[in-house]
Structure formats: C-alpha cells, structure tokens
C-alpha cells in the first residue's frame, strides 16, 4: 500500500486483524482524513509533519501504525509519545489501550507529574512497549537512568505548538538528543509557528507533510450543555438530570457494547424504561427496541455510535453523551439524533477535566459555545417531584371520579384513624417511598477536588495565598510562563489559582493557595524547570530567601551529554522564547 493510493477503509491498511477487530468494535467505519493520509506514511517508516486540530482523530493516526509495527516479544520502550499535559498523556494512553485490546501482552505506561514515582518505576522495571508522558517526567526518568531510549523506533510529538506555548520546547529538544538517530519522528501540531517549523527542519528527515483543515457544522436547532465530571459519580449525575429534565425520549451514548447493557440495567433498576442498543444484538432485536421507542413503550435507549447510526425517531428530545466521543464528527452524528423535523433538541455532554481539549474542538466544529450546566441538587429533584405530584393531583381531580376514595377517607376519619390531612400525608408517603419528596442533605465534595473544580472566574481561594521560593531565576533563563506551565502541568492546578510571580537572579517567588494538601508541595519540590529542580520552600516571615545553593543537575547521570554549549543553548532558548 503506497501513500498515494486513496484510503477509504482500514482493511486497505496493513495493520493486522487484532487492530481491525478493535476498530470495528468501537465503531470506526472508515479512516478520518488525518488517519487516511498519515497512517500509510508512518507504516512505511517515514517521518511525518502533521497539522491537524484536536478532534480530527490524530491520536489514532499515530497510535495505529505504532501498534501495527510493535514487537510484542520485546518488552522495551519502542515508542515514546510526548504530550504537553498529563490530561492529554492519560487520554492518549487510554486510546492506545482501546486500539490494542486484542494485542495480548501489550503494555503501555503513562508517566506524568502528580502520580507516584514508585508505581512508574515498578512498571518500567517490568518492561513496557510504549511510553506516553509529559516532558518533565520523561526527563526525570532519563536522568535517573530508569528509562532507556536505546531501542526506540518511533517518537511522537503531540500538540507541539502547545508544548512551545507552555515553555517545554527546550526540554523536548533535550529528549530528542537522547534518542537513536535512526528513530522515526511524527510531529503533530494544530498550528505551525516558526519555533515548531525549526524543530521539524532540524530533526525530521525527508518528512511527509499532511495538513488537515477541520470541518465545521452548525447545529442551531440543538441546545448544547456540558457537565464537568467532578465529585458526584456519573451515574448519580445522570440520575439527577433524568429526574429534572423534561424529556420525551432520550438516547444516551457510551463507548462500548458492554456499557450499553450495564447502564441500561442500572437505569431500569432505578425505575426508568431503558434498553440497550448495540452491534451484538440481532437485527430483529434492534428493530424491536426502536419500535418500542417509537410507540412510547420505551423512554431511554443506551447506545453505541454504530448501533445508533441511521436512527430516526421524532420523539427523541435529548441526547446525553455519557462518554465523550473520540472525535468531533462522531459528536455531530450523535446529537443529530435529536432536533429532527424542525423540532428543538437538547444535547448534554459529560466532560472529565482531562477531556477539555475535546470540548474545545467540538465547540470549534459546531461553531457554538457549549454552556456549562449546573448539576441539579437534591433539593431541585425534590422540588421537581413535588411539582409533578401537584400536577397529577390536579389532573386526577379534574378527569377522574374520586367519590369512592373521598368516602373512604371520611370513613377512616370517622373511625379515628386520623384527620384527613394525616391520612393524605400517609398516602403520599406510601406513593413516594421509593422516590422520596423530601430532599436529603447534600454531600460535601472532597477537599482537593473542590480546589481543582472551582469556577474559572475565581482567581483566589477563600483562604488566601502564601508565598514560596523556587530555585530557578533569571540567570537560568526562566520566565513566569515557564513556572506557571510547570506547576499547572505537574499538579493539575488551574493557572488562574497561581498568584504573583517575582523573578530574581538566582531564585524566584511564587504565590500559591494556602489550602492545598501536603502532597502537592512534596511534588513541586522535585519538579524541574530549565534544568533546575524547583525545591519549593515556604518564604520565611521576614521575606528573605533561605540561604541554600540551587540544585544543579549532574550531567554525568543524564546519559548522553548535551550537544549545545551553554552559550549556544542560551541563544537557542532566547530564540525559541521569542516565538511564544
């Protein structure tokens, strides 16, 4: 298969039956443009310079050829994927696991700050085939000698422009110098600033260039909202939404066939008329589920992307993306199940913190801002049930003959059972014993999660800030954005919660929230910026910097020495930072 042959199906590619089976199971019917143009080049072993937005399917574009060429008999790092944030590193590693579900014995390891080093060391010692990591943590392992790149065949730079923006590009260059000269490089970037183009020119050889422009689509008939997954579990959140939303019929999308059955059963156990719809069901059974939905005998269908394609039921008012889709086009197909025949539809998307990039990509594709929704409280649910009870009572009194029941209540009162109000209260209790009208006390969110999921417009935590010193300053070429990027990347703390940063010659000061846990600060003591360990310390009461010499990295422990001299490296740093 040559790169010039048009690719219209994955079966045309030499990627093996185990990968093809996994792609079929998750609903990949045909390669996206970035996949169709990139995979053949990467399978041939060529370097690749790809320009594509998040949401175009680029993770599969490099993951599939890596898996197709991996030697499972050798448990050594054969591919390294560098990502700018731990959220993206986790997302990429999860995608690899999905595509490799039938590659028995395959091992992948995400390495990033905020995760215990001990677990990573144990897994590295056991052997892995692919590493996905942030530059800082990958450098830590290379310095320690716990990660060897001597057998590396492929290096991927994912979202390279984001790494440039966050100040990691010098770290990326250092890592590139530790790789074998024969390795294949795939560089993906949404934009192509001068700094990224220079890296491509310097390190890529005879590279194929692929440029994909993201499609846009309008979904004006559909109201879109998202809920940022936090302390409340997804099933509990979904239940609250179902209890407060006015919906006629709903499709809930999940990623796997197993999940369709499990979630449908859980919803049925909670009293909802729900059923699964997936590719393992016979055509007759799928048609029966759809027929029940059309005839109002069913209210909720839990489906995979493939099973729901072509589904056209006018009474579907809501689409819930319980699992975020793999790409923006899949999202468009999903929410297109509602808003039919000129009717308004509603779409709700569950987004984990690490999936915010996909949320932004979906907004670009749909050309609509997606509104963040407030999860209904337990009091909201209770109020809703009370309103429903009132409506049922009014309708029953208007439409039904209740004289027999009125006589029964009067008889009970005469027998001394209680007054009419007490009897009505007891009857209401019996009716709603399974779905109480009285709201229980709302649980408190976990302390650390409360810090990380605080609304974006807040710039200071309630308990204020404290000032710390770090052992990196002007003489090391650091800028405030480097410090912010390192802290945000290694810990997951929003940059909006980081206070004033002051640069001095040999050190700097940074203000951080006072209510963060001890583990947060232990992690930052070991974080590296500009080849300097931060060594975070609380500033003493007099505002003086503790007299301690900065920790200098021991070049003899880092494997291959740097190619550039200090003067040349400083010039390169200034040149790169000028592009930010």
Query: What dihedral angle (degrees, nearest 10) is formed by the CA atoms of 160, 163, 167, 172?
Result: -70
Look at strands 501-503 and 508-513 and give their pairing.
Answer: antiparallel
- What are the tokens at 422? 């007490």
pLDDT for 255 equals 84
Region 10-211: CATH code: 3.40.50.300
Residue 190 host element (H or E): none
- In a 3-state reduction of DSSP, which class is residue 24? helix
Can you tell me the distance from the alpha carbon of 476 to that of 46, in angstroms, rounded to the nearest whole number?
37
Look at strands 300-303 and 316-321 and give their pairing.
Answer: unpaired
Return all residues near 519 (Cβ < 8 A) that are at least 6 apart: none
pLDDT for 556 equals 39
Per-residue pLDDT of the chain (580 residues; tens, 9 = 90+): 444 567 778 888 889 999 999 988 877 777 888 899 999 999 999 999 998 877 678 899 999 999 999 999 999 999 999 998 887 888 899 889 999 999 999 999 999 887 778 888 989 999 999 999 999 999 999 999 999 999 999 999 998 988 888 888 889 999 999 999 999 999 999 888 888 999 999 999 999 999 887 655 556 778 899 998 865 578 888 988 888 888 999 999 998 888 899 999 999 888 889 999 987 888 888 889 998 998 989 999 999 887 787 677 888 999 999 998 877 878 888 898 887 656 788 999 999 877 888 888 888 888 888 999 887 777 776 677 777 777 778 888 888 888 888 888 888 888 888 888 888 888 877 776 666 666 555 554 433 333 333 333 333 333 478 888 888 888 788 888 888 888 877 777 777 778 888 888 778 888 888 777 777 777 777 788 877 888 888 875 444 444 444 444 443 333 443 443 333 333 333 333 333 3
Range(s) for CATH 3.40.50.300 in the chain?
10-211, 222-377
Burial class (CB in 10 A: 0-12, 13-18, 19+), 506: middle
Region 222-377: CATH code: 3.40.50.300
**Cα 277 → chain centroid:** 25
- In a 3-state reduction of DSSP, which class is residue 83? coil
Range(s) for CATH 3.30.70.330 in the chain?
459-549
Can you tell me the distance from the alpha carbon of 184 to that of 153, in angstroms, rounded to the nearest whole number?
6
- In a 3-state reduction of DSSP, which class is residue 579? coil
The residue among 46, 52, 42 whose CA lies nearest residue 15 is: 42
Q: Is the dihedral of CA 95, 96, 97, 103 positive or negative?
A: positive
Question: Running DSSP on this structure, what letter comes out for residue 20?
Answer: H
The answer to whether 215 touches 74, Cβ cutoff 8 Å, is: no
Can you tell me the distance from the alpha carbon of 580 to that of 541, in angstroms, rounded to the nearest whole number?
36
The residue among 300, 301, 254, 303 whose CA lies nearest residue 278 is: 303
pLDDT for 307 equals 76
- In a 3-state reduction of DSSP, which class is residue 226? strand
Total Cβ atoms within 10 A of residue 276? 26
- In a 3-state reduction of DSSP, which class is residue 387? helix
The answer to whether 420 touches 405, Cβ cutoff 8 Å, is: no
Kindly give the interhelix angle for 58-69 and 86-99, rounded to the nearest 10 degrees. 50
| DSSP string for 484-521 | HHHHHHHH---GGG---EEE-SS-EEEEEETT--HHHH
- Does domain 459-549 fall under CATH 3.30.70.330? My reply is yes
The answer to whether 402 touches 396, Cβ cutoff 8 Å, is: yes
């Amino acid at each position: 298969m040559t790169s010039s042959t048009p690719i219209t199906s994955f079966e045309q590619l030499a990627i093996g039956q185990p990968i093809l089976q996994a792609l079929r199971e998750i609903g990949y019917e045909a390669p996206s443009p970035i996949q169709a143009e990139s995979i053949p080049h990467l399978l041939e072993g060529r370097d690749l310079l790809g320009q594509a937005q998040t949401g175009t399917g680029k993770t599969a574009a490099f993951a599939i050829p890596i898996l197709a060429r991996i030697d499972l008999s050798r448990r050594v790092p054969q591919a390294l994927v560098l990502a700018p944030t731990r959220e993206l590193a986790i997302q990429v590693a999860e995608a690899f696991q999905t595509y490799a579900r039938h590659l028995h014995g395959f091992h992948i390891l995400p390495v990033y700050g905020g995760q215990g080093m001990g677990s990573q060391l144990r897994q590295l010692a056991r052997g892995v085939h692919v590493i996905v990591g942030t530059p800082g943590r990958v450098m830590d392992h290379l310095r320690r000698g716990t990660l060897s790149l001597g057998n590396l065949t492929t290096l991927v730079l994912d979202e390279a422009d984001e790494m440039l923006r966050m100040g990691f590009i010098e770290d990326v260059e250092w890592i590139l110098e530790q790789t074998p000269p024969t390795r294949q490089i795939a560089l993906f970037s949404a934009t192509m600033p001068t700094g990224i183009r220079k890296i491509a020119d310097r390190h890529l050889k005879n590279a194929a260039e692929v440029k994909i422009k993201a499609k846009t689509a309008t979904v004006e008939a559909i109201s879109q909202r998202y809920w940022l997954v936090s302390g409340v579990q997804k099933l509990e959140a979904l239940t609250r939404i179902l209890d407060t939303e006015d919906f006629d019929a709903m499709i809930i999308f999940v990623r796997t066939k197993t999940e369709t059955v499990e979630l449908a059963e859980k919803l049925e156990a909670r009293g909802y008329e729900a059923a699964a719809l997936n590719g393992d069901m016979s055509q007759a059974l799928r048609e029966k589920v759809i027929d029940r939905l059309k005839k109002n005998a069913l209210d909720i269908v839990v489906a995979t992307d493939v099973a729901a394609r072509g589904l056209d039921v006018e009474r579907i008012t809501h689409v819930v993306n319980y699992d975020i889709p793999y790409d923006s086009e899949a999202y468009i197909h999903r929410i297109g199940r509602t808003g039919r025949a000129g009717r308004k539809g509603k779409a709700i998307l569950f987004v984990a913190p690490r999936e915010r990039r996909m949320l932004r990509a979906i907004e670009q594709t749909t050309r609509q801002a997606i509104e963040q929704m407030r999860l209904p409280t337990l009091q909201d649910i209770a109020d809703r049930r009370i309103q429903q009870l009132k409506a049922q009572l009014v309708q029953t009194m208007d439409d039904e003959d209740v004289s027999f029941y009125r006589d029964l209540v009067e008889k009970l009162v005469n027998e001394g059972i209680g007054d009419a109000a007490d009897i009505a209260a007891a009857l209401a209790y019996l009716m709603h014993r399974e779905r109480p009208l009285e709201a229980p006390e709302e649980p408190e969110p976990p302390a650390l999660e409360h810090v990380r999921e605080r609304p974006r417009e807040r710039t200071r935590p309630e308990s204020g800030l404290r000032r710390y010193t770090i052992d990196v300053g002007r003489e090391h070429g650091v800028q405030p954005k480097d410090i912010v990027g390192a802290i945000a990347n290694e810990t997951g703390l929003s940059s909006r919660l980081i206070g004033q940063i002051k640069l001095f010659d040999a050190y700097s000061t940074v203000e951080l929230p006072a209510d963060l846990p001890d583990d947060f600060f232990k992690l930052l003591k070991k974080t590296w910026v500009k080849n300097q360990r931060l060594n975070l310390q609380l500033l003493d009461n007099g505002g003086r910097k503790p007299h301690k010499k900065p920790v200098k990295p021991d070049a003899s422990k880092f494997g291959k020495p740097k190619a550039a001299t200090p003067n040349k490296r400083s010039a390169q740093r200034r040149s790169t930072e000028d592009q930010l």
